[in-house]
Copies of this chain bind each other. A is one copy, B any other.
Amino acid sequence: MLSTQNNAFVENLDIENLYDITGAIKIVENRLSSIVEECDDFIKVLLRKFLLSGKKIRPKLVLLSGLCFSAMNDEMINSAVVAEVIHTASLIHDDIIDKSDYRRNMPTVNSLLGNHAAVLAGDFLFAKAFEILSKNKLYKQMEYVVTAIQELCAGEMLQARDLFNIKVSEDHYFERISKKTASLLSACCKAGAQSSNASVDEIKKMGEYGIFIGYAFQIIDDLLDVMGKKEMIGKPLAQDIEQGNLTLPFIYLLQNPRIKDKYMTKLKDKTITKDIKLELINDLEQSGIITEVYQKATYFVQKAKEALDGIPDSVYKTMLMRLSDEVLYRTF
């Protein structure tokens, strides 16, 4: 369902040709390349691919949020670089946490060079991000980033505690994804706005926009984990559920007492076999919950757009609105 909708949409939508921020993204990419060059040979080759292969959603959010209030400036570029560096560092550490072997359609740092290199590569990138913030005196942006990283860790810990917990509530899920995903996206939007001297109120609104697309983004991510295709999402299917991470589709599914009873015993050993996984996905497909979850994501995209209400109209504001739509139609 998701992929057909998406393909049609993507063909009609080519944001970066409509309004050009490709030049700025290119600068961000060049800066990312220089960071890799400063790094030890031990992880350089791998980091080169990994740091540059992302979809650059966070840098785009920084830049577009900034461009809503002023012309492009170096603060925006630096904040955009920091956003991608922090995100990549957290992914590299995340892959140790999840014992993941595959990400962005390539082997993870930990699977190729061991946890060792992955811990160090992540730490190096975190330090690099703070170096950029500190050298360029981006102190307010640093506050946003520091809060986001702490939330990110807290979100990951919440997730760890909730593994295989069949009683996990919807509220708990939202608390988790707010910390794990939305907080960094929100920090990106605030950092962008801050870089163009937006008002306190405008920065707050951009932060809200970030939170809401963060929710939508993670909900779709969780849907893709069960419904996507490996070659599209760049990592194995239903990895979350295999690790006991009960995402929104499963939380809704387990609200059905009959289903809950059925899995209560099956999940008590904290092991999800291939059979249980396929059964869960099958139950999910037959439940109509996919649509319900998708509607929840749509709701948050709407809320994200509403958060932009008080922001002056501009092509960049329109791009942010479209970017939030794109979240709904992405396949990876």
Contacts and interface: CB of A to CB of B under 8 A. Distances in A.
B127 A150 contact: yes
A140 to B, nearest CB: 9
A146 to B, nearest CB: 4
Q: How large is the interface on A (under 10, 10 to 19, 20 to 34, 35 or more residues)?
A: 35 or more
A153 B137 contact: no
B134 A137 contact: no
B117 A93 contact: no
Contact of A137 (B122, B127, B139): B139
Interface string A135-172: 10101001100110110111011101100000000000
A97 interface: yes
Contacts of A157: 40, 42-43, 117, 120
Contacts of A93: 119-120, 123
A102 interface: no
B128 A150 contact: yes
A174 interface: no
Contact of A146 (B90, B131, B147, B153): B131
Most buried by B among A41, A119, A143: A119
A3 interface: no
Contacts of A33: none
A150 B124 contact: yes
Contacts of A153: 40, 120, 123-124, 127
Contacts of A134: 139, 142-143, 146
A289 interface: no
A74 B120 CA distance: 32
A6 interface: no
Interface in A81-99: 90, 93, 96-97
A115 B131 contact: no
Contacts of A127: 146, 149-150, 153
B130 A146 contact: yes
A116 interface: yes
B158 A40 contact: yes
A126 interface: yes
Contacts of A97: 115-116, 119-120
Contacts of A152: 123
Given A43-B157, A127-B153, A150-B128, A119 B96 contact: yes
Nearest to A40: B157
Interface of A: 40-43, 90, 93, 96-97, 115-117, 119-120, 122-124, 126-128, 130-131, 134-135, 137, 139, 142-143, 146-147, 149-150, 152-154, 156-158, 160-161
Given A93-B119, A97-B119, A135-B143, 5 more contacts: A42-B157, A97-B120, A120-B156, A120-B157, A131-B146
22 contacts: A40-B154, A40-B158, A42-B160, A93-B123, A96-B115, A96-B116, A96-B119, A115-B115, A116-B160, A119-B122, A120-B160, A123-B152, A123-B153, A126-B126, A126-B149, A127-B150, A128-B150, A131-B147, A131-B150, A134-B139, A134-B142, A135-B143
